[in-house]
Structure 1
Amino acid sequence: MPFSQDSNDEKFDLERRADKMLAMIFEYMTKMSLETNIHNILQVLADLGQKMVNADRCSVWLHEPTEKSIWTVAGHGLEKVTVDESSGIVGLSIQTEETIRVLDAYADPRFNDAIDRKTGYKTKSLLCIPFRNSEGTVIGAFQAINKKSDSEQFTPQDEEYLTFASTYAGKSLEAFILREELVETQKEMITTMGEIGESRSLETGYHVKRVAQYSYLLASLAGVPDKQAKMLKYASPMHDIGKVAIPDRILLKPGKLTDLEFEEMKTHTLIGYEVFRKSQRALLKTAALIAYEHHERWDGTGYPRGLAGEDIHLFGRITAIADVFDALGSDRVYKKAWPLEKIIDYMSEQSGHQFDPFLVKLFLEHIEKFIAIRDQFKEG
């Protein structure tokens, strides 16, 4: 067979384009791996689709079967849009599980021009490609709009490229959604367990809800990045989980504890720590830390380890303030709720002793915000 320079050049060109597409996908998959927000991930995927097929716009739609809808936030120039699952070309693509290429949108009766009318945009050509999860179920679709070329038409090669990207998109989105479901389950479990722990001491679930909100607010005021502040918020309901192992004769005693009883009460910090310390999950490891250190004191006279100052983790120092503020303002079996003025005086007096002075300063400077949270989550 004679040598053909043209065929060799064509093969080289195809290989070069394939390498370019792979490099592009890996670049965007790396960006996706750094995101923790589904809206941002959809935008990254939309950028990938737009770049791969040289479209004017690209959107990534997700299917919500239980709500019979599809939605996107990743349309360039669009806010979040939710429509019926059978709406338009993209809905049809998801429903039929087929790729749809449209040459002239307004000449196609299946096209829904509602978004164009709302935004003033003019859709000409369309390319919709569904993507699947690992079980083969269609969970969404890419929709590329208006090819930026002389013909203004998407080609079979564009279809091939976007199909390639959709394979990665389906797997990546599935992994993210499953991870988010796991995190949400952990959050729900932690809040529920925290409420169970409080119910043993005749507290309602409002205590752990308030402590979570106070902790998040104080962390934010202290400059903690939002991701870490939210981790504290979700883990803080477990601060007293160890009390489930404390006998009722101590936990529900209406009077002052004896020295021996108090020593047994203090073990709830160690018990709470042991419950979660072996977990590799960040949320549960944080819960272990908070349970362990929220009774340490700034001056080193706390328990269980007698830590002082910044040797106490910031999350422990924050939860200590949130927990004491709420406890003082609530009725307990051994005391009545304190008036706000007395609580503020106590927090001020304990600055530099029981509590981190910097955090107390922030707390008192923004006391009205903490009071608003208290009023929002009232008992009964």
Structure 2
Amino acid sequence: MSDEILFAEDDGEEEIVNSGKWKVLIVDDEPEVHAVTKLALGDFVFQDRNLDFISAYNGEEAKQVFREHDDIAVVLLDVVMETDDAGLKVADFIRNEAHNHFTRIILRTGQPGQAPERDVIINYDINDYKSKTELTAQKLFTVVISALRSYRDINSIEENRKGLEKIISASADLFSILSLENFIEGIVQQLASLLGGTKGAVYLTSAVAGPRPLDAYNPNELYVFTGKGAYESRSGEKLEQVLSGDELMSCKTAYENKCLVYEDEYLVAYCGSKNQKGSLLYLSGLPRKLNATDKRLVEIFSQNVQIAFDNVLLTKDIEDTQREVIERIGKAMEYHFGEGKHIQRMVKICDVLGREAGLTKAELNTLCLAVPLHDIGKVKVPEGILAKDDELDEQELNTLKNHAEFGYNLLKDSNRPLIKTAALIARDHHEFWNGNGYPRGKSGENIHIFCRITSLADTYDSLRNKRKKQQSLDVEKALELIKSEKGQKFDPTLVDSLLTNIEEIEDIIAKYPDEE
């Protein structure tokens, strides 16, 4: 990445723009105190933000305000109101019931003897304790400035914590596309926090690993990979669809010159890459002018983001290759055995049933990758048996059943978790819930959930689509047969899930019809 940093032209005298307000809650049973406080702090401005006053006149009203607002910056809290310790009860509520540890609590009392300062400081999580008589306008100004600084810094630390937590959470499963999204969202949040917060952020890339398929996209153009704030739902859209005017021109400048473009309201950082054409990180709504350290941080940060992105793209390419190989094997088997698009439909139906069964995204991914190999053992079954239109005799039926063990033995020696899963499904997807299946007579939950799902998906799709030895059934008759085997051949819970999601499953069957 170039060390060049571009700045916007100076249009003249800098204009101060308020970016929101600090919420200050006044809790006091004397209306005059509210009026005087607002008067003393009426022209208060901190970091281009003035104050938004909220009033409560007793402890219960104060508690209700905290139930409705989670962004109170400072509370000026009277101790003695409807009871001698009403204010202390509110302070306890804020910290221990509302679990709000961000709001700065400043206790004010006109009767300090009733609530000694030492006892209050020790026993309650408050941030300052003042007598009303000592709070002049200047001292009140100083106290509120100090409290707001603390509130700002605590929120900045919390944003950092959330960003780090998201990165750590994603790193455990970084090599799936969803984890990649979480990872980038986390580090964008981290950077926004370090800069003091932003209104929006966008990560734009020309890479093909977007959150939705980018097969038809132009590799020479930039698309939103993920966004935050106003850009959260813009994934997959072109740069020109998301930004316009000066922002669009700045993005093009940063991309073409491989540099950081910084302006008062936003910045664009080029993220260099050895393997791709590079990406852009766009941050809008900057709360302040960035110093040299901030800009250097953005530069280093954007370089590291792209390194992580490239590494995951490489892993994704390996995973996609693995998926494609298995899918092609499955399609070859469909063609060889004359099963049309049976496997394609099965994968989609398994995804629906697996989702309803509570499988994680990683488990769903493994299941759907392994399912195309469920009948791979049939390659060792004589073609005359598979093609026979008449009923099979006992010897032929036993030979056919051996395909389950054939498939298992073909795959079981692999060290790859995906192939091991495929071996298990190949062997056990003909086991019955009641133990009367084959090859090993397993029953109930001793049959892996992947195999139970595959069994139901395989059977339902076979009932609904014509096979060599049977005609297809309509939905009503197919469901009657499935329900008659509930608790016998099939897991009862999975049958209920199929019935609940039958419209979605039938949409899958309609979308992938067998070719005549």
Q: TM-score normalized by structure 2?
A: 0.58
Alignment of 1:88 with 2:244, yes or no, is: no
The whole-number CA distance in structure 2 between the counterparts of 1:99 and 1:236 is 47
Give SS of 2:468's match.
coil
1:143 matched residue in structure 2: 282
* Equivalent position to 2:227, from 46, 70, 74: 74
1:50 aligns with 2:188: no
SS of the counterpart of 2:487?
A: coil
Structure 1 contact 245–268 (Cα < 8 Å) conserved: yes
Please tell me the residue identity of whatever aligns with 1:373.
Answer: I
Partners of 1:280 and 1:331 in 2: how far apart?
Answer: 37
Gaps of 5+ in 1: 1-19, 103-123
Question: Does structure 1 residue 30 correspond to structure 2 residue 168?
Answer: yes
Q: Secondary structure at the match of 2:198?
A: strand
Superposition pairs for residues 1-380 of structure 1, below 5 Å? 29-34=167-172, 36=176, 37=178, 38-57=180-199, 58-64=201-207, 66-72=218-224, 73-78=226-231, 79-80=233-234, 81-83=237-239, 87-102=248-263, 124-133=264-273, 135=274, 137-149=276-288, 153-204=289-340, 206-380=341-515
Cα distance change of structure 1 residues 56 and 375 upon mapping to structure 2, 3 Å threshold:
closer
Q: Distance in 1 between matches of 2:475 and 2:267?
A: 62
Please say if residues 126 and 154 of structure 1, whose CA atoms lie closer than 8 Å, have aligned partners that are also in contact. Answer: no
- The question of whether the paired residues in 2 share the 8 Å contact of 1:131 and 1:167 is answered with yes
User: Structure 1 residues 190-199 or 356-365, which shifts more?
Assistant: 356-365
Shift of the 155–71 alpha-carbon distance from structure 1 to 2, 3 Å rule, reads farther
1:317 CA displacement: 0.9
| Partner Cα separation in structure 2 for residue 334 and residue 180 of structure 1 | 41
Asked if the contact 1:293/1:312 (under 8 Å) is kept, the reply is yes
Shift of 1:364: 3.5
Q: Show structure 2 runs of 5+ residues with no match.
A: 1-156, 209-217, 242-246
In the TM superposition, residue 193 of structure 1 has moved relative to its aligned partner by 1.3
Cα distance change, pair 323–136 in 1 and its aligned pair in 2 (3 A): closer
| Inter-partner Cα distance in structure 2 for 1:95 and 1:147 | 23
In structure 1, give the amino acid aligned to 2:171: S
Q: 2:514 is paired with a residue of what secondary structure?
A: coil
Aligned to 2:115: none
What is the Cα deviation at residue 336 of structure 1?
2.7
Q: Look up the equivalent residue of 2:298 and give its one-letter code.
A: L
Contact 2:370 2:421 in 1 (8 A): yes
CA contact (8 A) 1:127 1:154 kept: no
Contact 1:129 1:163 in 2 (8 A): yes
Give the Cα separation in 1 of the matches to 2:464 and 2:275.
54
Give the direction of change, closer, same or farther, for the CA distance of 1:378–1:310 in structure 2 (3 Å limit): same
Residues 103-149 of structure 1 show CA distances to partners (whole Å, capped at 9, x for unaligned) of xxxxxxxxxxxxxxxxxxxxx3443332233x365521323345433
Distance apart, 1:208 and its partner CA: 0.8
Aligned length: 333
Question: Is the CA contact (8 Å cut-off) linking 1:190 and 1:238 kept in structure 2?
Answer: yes
Q: CA RMSD in A?
A: 3.0
TM-superposed deviation, 1:75:
4.0
In structure 2, give the amino acid aligned to 1:169: V
8 Å CA contact 2:207–2:276 kept in 1: the answer is no
Aligned to 2:8: none
TM-superposed deviation, 1:344: 2.7
Give the C-alpha shift of residue 47 in structure 1. 0.7
Hey, what's the Cα distance between the residues in 2 that align with 1:324 and 1:173?
41
Taking the aligned partners of 2:413 and 2:191, their CA distance within structure 1 comes to: 42
Name the amino acid aligned to 1:60: Y
Higher relative contact order, structure no. (Cα contacts within 8 Å, ≥ 6 residues apart):
1
* Contact persistence 2:198–2:284 (CA under 8 A): yes
* Secondary structure class of the residue paired with 1:141: strand
Contact 1:55 1:144 in 2 (8 A): no
State the alpha-carbon separation in 2 of the partners of residues 325 and 353 from structure 1.
15
CA–CA distance in structure 2, aligned partners of residues 215 and 157 of structure 1 = 52
**Residue type of the alignment partner of 1:74:** G
Q: Which amino acid aligns with 1:172?
A: A
Give the distance between the partners of 1:291 and 1:52, measured in 2 at CA: 51
Q: Counterparts of 1:132 and 1:277 in 2: how far apart (Å)?
A: 43
| Secondary structure in 2 matching 1:142 | strand
TM-score by length of structure 1 reads 0.77
Task: Calculate percent identity across the aligned residue pairs.
Answer: 25
How far the C-alpha of 1:278 sits from its partner, in A, is: 4.2
CA 1:26–1:369: 2 relative to 1, 3 Å:
closer
1:87 and 1:226 map into 2 onto residues whose CA distance is: 36
